[in-house]
């Protein structure tokens, strides 16, 4: 008998308890990095998302698109100003952000999921007031911090077997368009939905300890201690802050995992081994 078939059967057998565990669960996935950068990665990601829905999971995709925004700003010769490492979002820049995120980036993800047999629908946080924001800091211009998430609309989409794909834009009380950090938007959506999992796909294997090995399970208290000790540093700090905020807001757990690994979402949800760093309250 073909050994590959035996291995496939063994994998399905191992996955059964997890398929039962996540039936009816809500899983928010923040998509960025490698999976967005290659056609092969996007196709693999889309297939995973469709499979998740087929086995009873309600997936929600929130995506970024920083490199695509940078490329378009360069093409249009629109300069960027930064305050404390954060881009000031002017009227001109937010128009480009909306064009890129809600346009080409969002629809590429929607198309990839639909090509695999899913029913994805593209949204931004402006649609039906999905994400209502406050201005983060006047110095940053039109950068928003989520205040309210319209979970009723997302629940309605789940009931229709649609997969929401959300561009991280929000709306203000006066109808302003706000640019939202993709991780922040994903965390707000996960918290509001009380998601069973928030999966933050990155370009690193997970949160690493003092010896450089990936820490597979962490509590909020451990995250805070590692940050105080300088072990969690640099670009991992906003990821872990997003995780802690999501958990405090109502999400059950957050996983920071390497989106470059094929089938990373499936490995995390449906195998004993999992993937990346699981963070709980």
Residue 3 lies in a domain: no
The per-residue pLDDT for range 192-229, each reduced to its tens digit, is: 999 999 999 988 888 988 888 888 899 989 999 999 98
Residue 70 lies in a domain: yes
Query: What domain range is 246 assigned to?
Result: 24-280
pLDDT-based confidence at 80, cuts 50/70/90? Answer: confident
Three-state secondary-structure class, residue 32: coil
Three-state secondary-structure class, residue 3: helix
Distance, in Å, from the CA atom of 203 to the CA atom of 168, rounded to the nearest integer, reads 19
Beta 26-31 vs 82-83: how paired, if at all?
unpaired
pLDDT-based confidence at 237, cuts 50/70/90? Answer: confident
Distance, in Å, from the CA atom of 162 to the CA atom of 160, rounded to the nearest integer, reads 5
**53-63 mean pLDDT:** 95
Residue 190 lies in a domain: yes
Judged against a pLDDT cut of 80, whether residue 254 lies above it is answered with: yes
pLDDT-based confidence at 13, cuts 50/70/90? Answer: low
Residue closest to 12 by CA, chosen among 41, 44, 57, 55 = 55
- CATH number of the structural domain spanning residue 203: 3.40.1160.10
On whether the CB atoms of residues 277 and 207 are closer than 8 A, the answer is: yes
Longest Cα–Cα distance of the chain, Å, equals 66
So what's the pLDDT on residue 36? 76
The per-residue pLDDT for range 115-131, each reduced to its tens digit, is: 999 999 999 999 999 99
The per-residue pLDDT for range 159-183, each reduced to its tens digit, is: 999 999 999 999 999 999 999 999 9
The per-residue pLDDT for range 94-119, each reduced to its tens digit, is: 999 999 999 999 999 999 999 999 99
So what's the pLDDT on residue 83? 84
Q: What is the dihedral of CA 37, 40, 44, 47, to 10 degrees?
A: 110
**Active site residue ranges:** 30, 33, 66, 183, 239
Percent of the chain with pLDDT over 90: 64
Distance, in Å, from the CA atom of 275 to the CA atom of 266, rounded to the nearest integer, reads 9
Residue 16 lies in a domain: no
So what's the pLDDT on residue 264? 86
Judged against a pLDDT cut of 70, whether residue 49 lies above it is answered with: yes
Distance, in Å, from the CA atom of 147 to the CA atom of 98, rounded to the nearest integer, reads 19
Secondary structure element (H or E) that encloses residue 133, with its range: strand 131-135
Residue closest to 189 by CA, chosen among 137, 237, 147 = 147
Residue 80 lies in a domain: yes
Residue 6 lies in a domain: no
Three-state secondary-structure class, residue 178: strand
Dihedral of alpha carbons 144, 148, 153, 157, sign: positive
More confident residue, 73 or 7: 73
On whether the CB atoms of residues 32 and 95 are closer than 8 A, the answer is: no
Three-state secondary-structure class, residue 207: coil
Rounded CA Rg of the chain: 19
Task: Please state, rounded to an integer, the average pLDDT across all residues of the chain.
Answer: 89
Residue 180, token pair as written in the block: 């939202």
Residue 93 lies in a domain: yes
Judged against a pLDDT cut of 90, whether residue 22 lies above it is answered with: no
Residue closest to 265 by CA, chosen among 20, 10, 15 = 15
* Structural domains of the chain, count: 1
Q: How far is CA 119 from the centre of its chain?
A: 18
């Amino acid at each position: 008998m073909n050994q590959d078939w035996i291995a496939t059967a063994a994998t399905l057998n191992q996955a059964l308890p997890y398929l039962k565990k996540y039936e009816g669960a809500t899983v928010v996935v923040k998509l960025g990095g490698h999976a967005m950068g290659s056609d092969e990665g996007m196709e693999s990601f889309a297939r995973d998302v469709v499979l998740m829905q087929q086995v009873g999971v309600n997936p929600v995709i929130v995506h970024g698109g920083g490199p695509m925004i940078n490329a378009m700003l360069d093409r249009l010769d629109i300069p960027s100003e930064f305050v404390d490492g954060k881009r000031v979002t002017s009227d001109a820049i937010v128009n480009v952000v909306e064009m890129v995120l809600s346009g080409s980036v969002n629809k590429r993800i929607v198309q990839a999921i639909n090509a695999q047999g899913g029913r994805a629908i593209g949204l931004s946080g402006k649609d039906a007031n999905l994400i209502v924001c406050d201005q983060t800091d006047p110095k940053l211009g039109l950068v928003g911090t989520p205040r309210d998430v319209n979970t009723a609309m997302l629940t309605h989409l789940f009931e229709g077997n649609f997969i929401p794909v959300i561009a991280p834009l929000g709306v203000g009380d006066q109808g302003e368009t706000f640019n939202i950090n993709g991780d922040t938007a994903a965390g707000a959506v996960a918290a509001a939905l009380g998601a069973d999992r928030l999966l933050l796909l990155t370009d690193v294997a997970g949160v690493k300890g003092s010896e450089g090995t990936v820490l597979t399970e962490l509590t909020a208290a451990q995250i805070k201690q590692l940050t105080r000790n300088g072990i969690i540093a640099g670009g991992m700090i906003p990821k872990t802050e997003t995780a802690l905020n999501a958990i405090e807001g109502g999400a059950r757990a957050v996983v920071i995992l390497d989106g470059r690994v094929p089938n990373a979402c499936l490995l995390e949800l449906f195998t004993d081994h999992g993937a990346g760093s699981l963070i709980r309250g």
